[in-house]
Structures are given as structure tokens and as C-alpha cells.
Structure 1
Amino acid sequence: MELACEEGRSEIFEAMLDDSSDTAWEFGPVKCVTYPLDGVDSIKGDGGLDLNSVLWRTVFGGEDGHLDILESGVIYLLLKEKWKEFAKQKLRIRFILALFYLTMLSVAVYLRPEGDLLSGTTVTDIVRYIAEVIVLIGSTIYLGFEYFNIRALKSRYWRLQIYIPAKSTFLVSCVLFLFCLPFRLLSLRSVEDILTTLAVPMAWCYLLLFYRGREELGPFVTTIYKMALGDLLPFSLIWIVIISILCSVFYYPYKDMEGIQSFDTFYGSWMYLFHMTFEDFETLISGEDDEIELSRLPVLTKILFVIFMVLIPILLMNMLIAKMAQTYQTIEHRAWRESLRQWARIIMVLEHSCSKAELQKYRKAYAVPGAKPKYLLKGTSTNQPSPSKADAEDSEYCDSLMIVKPNFRVQPQKPHGDSSIRTRLSLQNWTVVPKATRKQLIEQKRHGAKIEETTVNWIDSLPGSGL
């Protein structure tokens, strides 16, 4: 299953997952099935993190097949249980703390005076001191929590930061704020201003992490990331090479020429070509003050200008716009699925910030003892003492997710839109058995008792029973 998930083979993964499941009971058009969580859930039975689990590979996979696995009934409902048990509450608390932290940061920045930052005694200065202390304490706390995450994830921690750039930039801003303290004490105002200028926008990017889990905002944030890395970065590499070539070519015809403002220095030439990229070249061709005619080689300069116009504003810029439009259309077509993946990644990020005892408690909240698959059963050696009856019975069970789903398989054609039919089935006709009903169903399964009337009424209220 891990290999199928790593390769994004959703059909193989679902077939193997169904093969490992155990049907507790069937009642008309619905049935109750337990799916073992060993190797599937990112939380182990003892509360540790399973970084090789199916859930980890699915959430941080980049293939379309991983989206198919992610929106399958079992994986989606597992994430939904995690969201209800701890992720939703923790995300709200973090959002409130982030807003408070950023508010204090804004107060500390907007109240900075022009002169000395340590000698003020007015009410405004006192408020600024309090806000700065809160920002430093908050930065220290955020970095302290990340230290425990690094110890838990080790080398995979840095891989995780690639998928959550908003959090990564925020942590960098926390480091920069702490570096401001020694420069403040050394009265190096210029260095502190540089660090603060870099850190403030990076800190505000942290809010994008909370937007990624929203269906209406997540696709836009994802589009920005995709365009920045997939479109702007290749364009910038090509653009820098062409600009560097033409910069030298334009600089030489105007070198040591009087009355030239655009290409008087090499740096000025480079910056003016940057403005010309966006069709800002009025001083170059502006009637009587035409700078092309003031060059040593006016004809050659005009030829170079035409070459620049064809390569940069016309060719490269339109290629960039077309590529961005293609990226936006691709993400918009599967907006719901992309928001689902971002929502799942937020859950995983929150999960990694929990302690081992907390994770063990959360897993017990949504897991039930289900029948262990045959490939997880271990034989007992003849040299070892025979286990007791209670131990033997417990060894046949493992943590599972109890789900009620339709008692038939529906495979209609995939609709046109951003969600597949399997997503709709998982949302409408799959449900996790409530906590109050789980123990009752397990006991009835073990002792072979008939389903009681209260359980029948609960089954009739399920969405899948109306199919």
C-alpha cells in the first residue's frame, strides 16, 4: 500500500485497502467496515509519528494520483476525524495568537521614532517598548516549538518546510527579530532597520497558511506559489541572461557621452532596461531629446532597440502571461481538490506540533479495535510460551477506523468540474460511526448478537441508507 501510494496508483491502493478491511455487519443497502490504521495513519498506536505512512505520502505527494487517494472515502474521513478531534481547535487558537502577534508587531513598527530607540520616556515610547517585548517573546516561543519539531522529524523537517512556505518565511522573520536585539543594544540603527524591513513582510505572510485551508481562498494562494516557482523563476533566469547581454551592448555606445541620463553608468543601464521591459522607454525615443540619436552609433543602437523589443516585451512577457494563464486554469479546474490537499497539509502541520501523549489520546478518540489483517498476524513459535486467552484475543485486533458506507460499488462517468464522483460519494454516503455507537457494535460483533432497534434507527438516518 505504501508503494502504491508513493507512486500515486489510486486503483491499486484502494483495492489493497479494501482487501485488508473487515466487514462488521450488513444491513440492507449499507454495511459497516473497519479499516486497519497500521501503516495508513500518520499517528502510531503509541503516539509516535509514522513518516512512512500512507497518509504522509498522500498529503505531501505532488501527483494527480495522490489527489485521487486523498479524496477516497477512508483517507478523507480519517482526515475529517483528525480535524474534529484536534486540528480545528488548534488552528483557531493559532490564528488568534498570530493576529495578536502581528498586531503587536505593527504597533512596534508604526511607533518607531526617527532618533534614538532607547531613550524615549513618553507614553508612545512605553507602548512601543511593550509591543517590542511581546514580539521578542513571541518569536522565542515560536522558535522553541520548532526545535521540538526538528527533533521529532529530523531530516524530514526541512522537506516539510518546502510544502509550507508561509510558515518557513514566518520562522525566518522570528530569527531576524531576535537578531535586532543585539544591534539595538549596540546602537546600530541602520542594521536594525534593514533586518526589520525584511522581517515585517515575511511575518505577515504567515496568514497565508490559514487561508490555504479555505475552499474559496486556498486555490488563490496555491496559484501564487505555483506561478512564483513554476512560471516566474524560469522566466527570471532567461530574462537575467538577456538583460545582462543587452546591458553591455547599450552601455558602450553611450559611454562618456554628455547629456545622457539612461545609460550613463552600467548599473543605470541595467535598471533602465528593467523599466524598458515594461514598455517604459519615453526618454529613449522622445522627439528632440531622442537619446538614440545621441549615441556613437545611432543606426546600430536602433537595431539593438528593435531586437530588445522583440525579445523582451513582445516575446518573453507574452510567454509569461500565457504560462500564468495556463497555471491558473489548471488549478481552477481542480480548485476543490487543491483546497482539500492544502487543508490536509494544515492538519499534518498541526499534528507535528503535538506531543506524543496528545497524539496517542487523539488516535484513541477516533480509532476502534478492529480485526487485524492476515498479513499483520504473527505466528507463535513453538519455543515460546503460549499466550493467554485474553492476550490471544487482543492480538487479533488492531486500531481501525469504523465506517458505514453503501453496500455496492458505483462507478459512473467522471463529471466535468473540479471534483470527481468519488469525492461526492465520500462526502455524501460515507460516514464514521459515532463514538456512542462504536462499542455497542463491537460487542455485538464479538458475541454474535442481533442488531438492536436503536442501532437500526441510527442506520436508517444515515445518508447512504437512502440509496
Structure 2
Amino acid sequence: MTPLHIAVVNQNVNLVCSLIGRGADVATPRVTGLYFRKRRGGLLYYGEHILAFAACVGNQDIISMVINAGASTRAQDSIGNTVLHILVLQPNKTIACLVLDLLLARDVELDQAVPLDMVPNYRGLTPFKLAAKEGNLVAFQHLVNRRRVVQWNLGPLTSNLYDLTEIDSLVADDDRSVLELIVGSQRREARRILEVTPVRQLVSLKWNLYGKHYFRLLLLLYLLYIGTFTLCCVYRPLKDAPENYTVSDMDKTIRVQKTLKESYVTYGDNLRLAGEMISVLGALVILLLEIPDMLRVGAKQYFGQTALGGPFHVILIAYAFLVVLLCVFRVSGVQGEAVVMAVCLVLGWSNVMFFARGFQMLGPYVIMIQKIIFGDLTKFMWLSFIVLIGFSTSLWMVYMTQDPDSLPAYRSFPITLFSQFELSVGLIDLPVDHTITTPPIVHVLHCTFSVVSYILLLNLLIAMMSDTHWRVAQERDELWRTQVVATTLMLERRLPRCLWPRLGVCGLLYGLGERWYLRVEDRNDPLRPIVSNHHSHVPMARCVS
């Protein structure tokens, strides 16, 4: 850090002027060290160059002095961030927007081919995209308005053209459009950008004109597919078990799996073969669609983001893999396909819930189920497991000296553990036979287990689920919009481009170059009564196709 950096950050205008007058270099010096870098938990990120420091403190006199002395408005730090990127990351958003306007005005004087706000950092993010990713609603709205072109005004009505270059995934030059970044962001503030004009109108047009129809058609195809697989499982090839097949009186098996040659003989077998081929081909298609997306986004984000589908991608990939494994089992004659079929049926039908995101009434509740299962229920199961192990071991220590046939629920430790689990969730009655002598400690253990399991743990689970329900309910509309965007982007990647007509108008029609714009009519009447808090801060807007 140079003395000029210190003078700038302390807003000592006289010292800055004196240092520049004595020939201080304002373009080359950069701060170094971990403390000044952008990092998690860092308290300060002002970039590295003197101009960046001046912009972050917001003193326009110092900014003008530094630029006039030769500082470059396009200087980038070690991670490629320009001064505009750094301003987007500052907590004082109002001052950042004022400085941003000043810098853009000074940069226009240089007559560069690419505007300063279109210069990407080393991660491919322009200041506009970075504002969307970080959830900086103020900076994003400010940059949107700077790119807005006003067509006409008529009283409270205004017709605007909004630039879609970096917003629309079909117009963006790369796969990191604003919509992609919002969906991939883990910040709640980023989801609020979906309410900003023209993002809200663009998403609404895409979903209502094309997206929801394609998605519901996909739901119909999946239901036909999983129904076909279910019929193939129900009518799988079986034959009567040979004599002396069972080796235990407890084994009641009467039918076994046919061999490969015996499985495809009759006309019904050929029909089932057609269904099995559809099932396997469908599983291969699923793998070919899911794996590239996982590699593109990254496994952690792909499986961890509830808006992107989260656990449903795990379910779908596991289902497809097991269906292919079933094909291998059938061809090789391996016994035991019933277990794999059972798991496939559970996974395949569970994935139908993924399509609930296509309906506004059901979409947020599916996210609620995911959060309860992977949050509240996981914590509850850990606590329950500890309690079950303790009490099951205690009971087994008592019953291990008794006749196993006298109490079948406690004839072995695994059975004892399972019986206590059933008892904890109320699936069975108390497995105590009062016609035989029962040690008093058994009654003490059962009473204590009932108090801990029923009264304490179950009520704790109910309280946690109620809290999760309340939190998700607060974000209901945001989650629904995010699901709609994520679903639309998924369909755009997987369906042919010809099925997605480009929305908006070409700038050539208005002498604005080859960029695409969305025309939106806004009404901002200050005398219009506020009818609801929800619309009190959002002007009325209508998209004109």
C-alpha cells in the first residue's frame, strides 16, 4: 500500500492533491496481501488500484483528480474485477450507483469499442451479471435503467425498450445469463431480482407462452414411461418353484424368476419385451441428459440447489442406473432382480413430485418437503437413532436370557432394534406378554422410552417442521418464480432451439443495432391509490409482444 492509497481511503483531499502534484503514480501501484483481497469473511474489499479505493469511499473530487492524473477506468485487479465490479460489491449501494454513473461518463470520453459495464472479469461476469449473482438489487436496477430506451411518454404511461443482451439465456453469448446466475445463486436477495422489470415480464412470457405447455407435456410422457415400467415389473417372468426349493419352514416362496430363454416365449412376453426396451432406452436417455448438466454446473450445486431440482436429480440418476442394471441382471441370469425393481419403482414414482413445480399451488410445497426431509427429519433421525440404540441394547440385555419363542419381537438384537423403531412411531402395540414373568426393569425402560420418544422427540419434530413451514411460506412467491425460471432454462437446454421463438424486438427496427429488446409499457401514476402493500413499491407494467 502506498501513501496515496492511505490518503485516498482517508479522504484527505489536500494530501491527495499534494502527492499527485509531486508526481505520485496513480496508475501502476497496487495493494498486495491477503487482507485486501476478496475472500470469505473479509471486512474490506476496495480492489487494488488507487482509483478503486477512491471509488469505494465515494469522494467525487478525489475520483476526478485521480482520473485526471492518468488513472485508467479499465484497470483490473488480480481476479479481473474492474472498478465497476468492485462498486457492485460495496455495502453502500446508493453511493456506489452515483460513483458508477461518474465513472461511466468519464469512460465514454475514451470512445472504447466495448463499454466499461460490459467488460467481464476473469470468471466471465460483467458488473451487470455480478450484481445479479450477488443479489445487489439496487445496482442491478440502476444498470437496467441506464440501458433502457424510452420510446414515448403519455401522461403516466411510458413505453420502454429493455436490453436483453445479458438477461435472456437465448440472447446471451454464453451460458451465464442473468437468469442462469439468479437460479444458481444461494442468496435470497438474488431471487428478488426476478421481480425487477424486465426480468419479471420476460420470465412470465417464456413460461406462459411456451414453458408450462412443454413442461406439462413432459409430465405426461414421464407418466406414460413410468407406467410402462411399472407394468413390466408387475408382469415380470415367474414360474412355479421346483420341489425342495425351500430350505427352511419359514421360507414360503412358491414362485421364482424364469431364465432368459423362458422369459420371452408367448405373445404377452413379447409385449412385455417392448415395454422393457422402452424402459431401458428411457433410462439411457435420462443418463445422457442428466450427466452433461451435472458436469456443466458441478455436482455440489446440481444436487444441492432445491430450485434446480436438488435431490430429484439424485433420484432420477439412481433410477436410470438401476434400470440399466436390471437389464444386465436379466441378460446374465442373475437372481435377485426383485430387490432392484422394488427400489426402482419407489425412485421412479417419487420423481413424479419433481413435476409439481409446474403448478403454482404445489411447487413451493415440494420444496418444503425437501427442506423437512433433509433438514428437520435428518436431525430427528440422528437423535432417534441414539435413543433407539440405547433402549434396544438395554432391552436385549434383559431378553437375551429368555426363550426366543416367548417374545418374537425380542428374539434377536436386530429384531429388537426394529421393534423399538416400530414402537417409537406407533406402528405396533407394546410388545410385552403379561402372562409370563417380566423383569421390573422392562416396565421402567418402556415407560422411559415412551416419554423420550413420544413426548419429547415427536413434539420436537413437529416444532421444527412448523418452523420450516413458516419460513418457506414467507418465501412462497420467490420460490415459485425461481422454480419457473429453473424449469424454463432446463427446457431451453434440452429442447430444440426452433421450439423457442425469440421474444422481443430487434434493435435494428429502431436504429439500436443488432441487440434484442423487450418492449414494456409502464404506468407510474403518483396519484393512483395504493391498493395493497404488495404493489406499493412496484409500478404497473405490461409487456407488449
* Aligned-partner Cα distance in 2 for 1:187–1:105: 19
Q: CA deviation at 1:132?
A: 0.8
- Give the number of the structure whose residues are more often helix, by fraction: 1
Is contact 1:145–1:353 with CA below 8 Å preserved after alignment? yes
Q: What residue identity is the alignment partner of 1:27?
A: L
Partner residue of 1:135? 279
Distance 1:27-1:311 versus aligned 2 partners, 3 A rule? same
Partner residue of 1:126? 270
Distance 1:85-1:112 versus aligned 2 partners, 3 A rule? same
Partner residue of 2:445? 304
Partner residue of 2:423? 276
Is contact 2:530–2:536 with CA below 8 Å preserved after alignment? no
Q: TM-score, normalised by structure 2?
A: 0.64
* Aligned-partner Cα distance in 1 for 2:180–2:298: 11
Is contact 1:9–1:65 with CA below 8 Å preserved after alignment? yes
SS in 1 for 2:167: coil
Distance 1:308-1:39 versus aligned 2 partners, 3 A rule? same
Partner residue of 1:66? 190
Q: What residue identity is the alignment partner of 1:226?
A: K
Q: CA deviation at 1:35?
A: 2.3
Q: CA deviation at 1:63?
A: 4.2
Q: What residue identity is the alignment partner of 1:323?
A: M
SS in 2 for 1:403: strand
Matches within 5 A, 1:34-433: 34-46=161-173, 48-50=174-176, 53-84=177-208, 86-115=210-239, 116=258, 118=260, 119=262, 120-149=264-293, 154-156=296-298, 159-162=301-304, 163-164=308-309, 165-190=311-336, 192-258=337-403, 259-279=406-426, 282-285=429-432, 287-289=434-436, 294-295=438-439, 298-299=440-441, 301-354=442-495, 358=497, 362=500, 364-369=502-507, 398-408=515-525, 420-421=534-535, 429-433=540-544
SS in 2 for 1:205: helix
Paired residue for 1:29, among 156, 166, 183?
156
Q: CA deviation at 1:203?
A: 1.6
Q: CA deviation at 1:174?
A: 1.6
Give a deviation string over 1:38-70, Cα, whole Å, max 9, x none: 333334444x411xx332232344444334222
Q: What residue identity is the alignment partner of 2:366?
A: V
Q: What residue identity is the alignment partner of 2:535?
A: I
Give a deviation string over 1:375-406, Cα, whole Å, max 9, x none: xxxxxxxxxxxxxxxxxx76x66333221111
Q: CA deviation at 1:228?
A: 0.9
* Aligned-partner Cα distance in 2 for 1:247–1:409: 70
SS in 2 for 1:430: strand
Distance 1:363-1:330 versus aligned 2 partners, 3 A rule? same
Distance 1:82-1:282 versus aligned 2 partners, 3 A rule? closer
* Aligned-partner Cα distance in 1 for 2:345–2:432: 40
* Aligned-partner Cα distance in 2 for 1:363–1:323: 45
Q: CA deviation at 1:102?
A: 1.8
* Aligned-partner Cα distance in 2 for 1:196–1:246: 35
Distance 1:210-1:325 versus aligned 2 partners, 3 A rule? same
Q: CA deviation at 1:140?
A: 2.0
Q: CA deviation at 1:274?
A: 0.4
Distance 1:106-1:409 versus aligned 2 partners, 3 A rule? farther
Give a deviation string over 1:304-334, Cα, whole Å, max 9, x none: 3333222221101111112222323443455
Q: CA deviation at 1:367?
A: 4.9
Q: What residue identity is the alignment partner of 1:402?
A: R
* Aligned-partner Cα distance in 2 for 1:405–1:415: 18
Q: CA deviation at 1:286?
A: 5.3
Distance 1:2-1:413 versus aligned 2 partners, 3 A rule? farther
* Aligned-partner Cα distance in 1 for 2:300–2:206: 24
Q: CA deviation at 1:138?
A: 1.9
Paired residue for 2:142, among 15, 20, 30?
15
Q: What residue identity is the alignment partner of 2:230?
A: S
> Which of the two has higher C-alpha Rg?
2
Distance 1:142-1:230 versus aligned 2 partners, 3 A rule? same
Structure 1, unmatched stretches of 5+, are: 373-392, 435-467
* Aligned-partner Cα distance in 1 for 2:318–2:475: 32
Partner residue of 2:98? none
Q: CA deviation at 1:184?
A: 0.7
SS in 1 for 2:198: helix
Is contact 2:507–2:517 with CA below 8 Å preserved after alignment? yes
SS in 1 for 2:409: coil
SS in 1 for 2:345: helix
SS in 1 for 2:435: helix
Q: Aligned residue pairs: how many?
A: 392
Partner residue of 2:76? none
Is contact 1:34–1:401 with CA below 8 Å preserved after alignment? yes
Q: What residue identity is the alignment partner of 1:156?
A: G
Partner residue of 1:381? none
* Aligned-partner Cα distance in 1 for 2:482–2:381: 28
SS in 2 for 1:154: helix
Is contact 2:216–2:358 with CA below 8 Å preserved after alignment? no
Is contact 1:370–1:400 with CA below 8 Å preserved after alignment? no
Give a deviation string over 1:128-172, Cα, whole Å, max 9, x none: 11111111122222323335545xx62436623433133441232
Q: Cα RMSD between the aligned structures?
A: 3.2
Larger relative contact order (CA 8 Å, sep ≥ 6): 1
Partner residue of 1:385? none
SS in 1 for 2:159: strand
